[in-house]
Amino acid sequence: MNELKNKKILIVDDEKGLLDMIKDILLSDGFYNIYTAQNCSETMDIIKQQPIALFVLDVNLPDGDGFSLFDDIRKISKAPVIFLTARGEADDKIKGLGLGADDYIVKPFLTEELLLRITALLRRTYVKTDKESSFMLSDRTVDLENAQVIYDDNKIQLTAKEFILLKKLWENKNKIVTNDALCMAAWGDDYYGYENTLMVHIRRIREKIEKNPSNPMHLITAKGLGYKLVTEDE
């Protein structure tokens, strides 16, 4: 846990009072590498200088929006992202998660909930296990330690959510992993309603691990149940 407390977190919101409140919450819980920004420009300046481990992004910003900022961040960093916004509409939630964000919290929120979600996301993304650090799927190597898929001279980075889902499937290789189990692994106990987003992430994983994503050999759909990662020895 001490390693997680050292992770650099960037909070982006145009409300200074809210920024200060979230920063104080994290500091009081033992996190001490907290950065804040009030617009897109400040955010990009910070991430070009600091290896941010987790982002908390407001959707409404004075010089842009969180969705566009997310796209710019992804060009530089694969760190997990939580959207924080006053908007509660389902379309915004679907858009944010569909882009590949890791969580979405609607204002007003309980401070304890935000803290728990940040801690859980950091733990799921960065806590290492003693299990295998890599495995092969046909001509591709999945490097769990660096969250990459390697083939020929290419190194394709996995996003935080893709990494969590693929790791869960690998831990249960050649067995069906239910949609509920995958959603819980990626989004925690509050996973209801993420089924469509799961499908988006599965499609993107296939694009990275399969020779022909439209006719997958390894990441197989178990219709009505979930998915199975088929290895060479099945």
Where in the chain are the domains? Answer: 2-126, 134-229
Predicted local confidence at residue 117, as pLDDT: 87
Asked if the model's pLDDT at residue 203 lies above 50, the reply is yes
Q: What is the pLDDT of residues 104-121, one digit of tens each?
A: 888 888 888 888 889 888
Alpha carbon of 28 to those of 5, 6, 23, 24, 41: distances in Å? 11, 13, 9, 6, 28
Share of the chain above pLDDT 70, in %: 88
Asked if the model's pLDDT at residue 97 lies above 80, the reply is no
Predicted local confidence at residue 234, as pLDDT: 44
User: What is the arithmetic mean of pLDDT over 210-215?
Assistant: 92
Burial 43-77 (b: 16+ CB within 10 A, else e): bbebbeeeebbbbbbbbebeeeebbebbeebbeeb
Task: Please give the span between the terminal C-alpha atoms of the chain, in angstroms, as a whole number.
Answer: 37
Say yes or no: domain 134-229 is CATH 1.10.1040.10: no
Cβ contacts of residue 221 below 8 Å, gap of 6+? 202, 227
| Residue of 103 and 19 predicted with greater confidence | 19
| Residue of 103 and 149 predicted with greater confidence | 149
Average pLDDT, whole number, for the chain? 86
Asked if the model's pLDDT at residue 35 lies above 60, the reply is yes
User: What is the arithmetic mean of pLDDT over 65-88?
Assistant: 84
Fold of 2-126: Rossmann fold (3.40.50)
Among residues 44, 53, 67, the alpha carbon closest in space to that of 7 is found at: 53
Tell me whether the CATH fold assigned to 2-126 matches the one assigned to 134-229: no
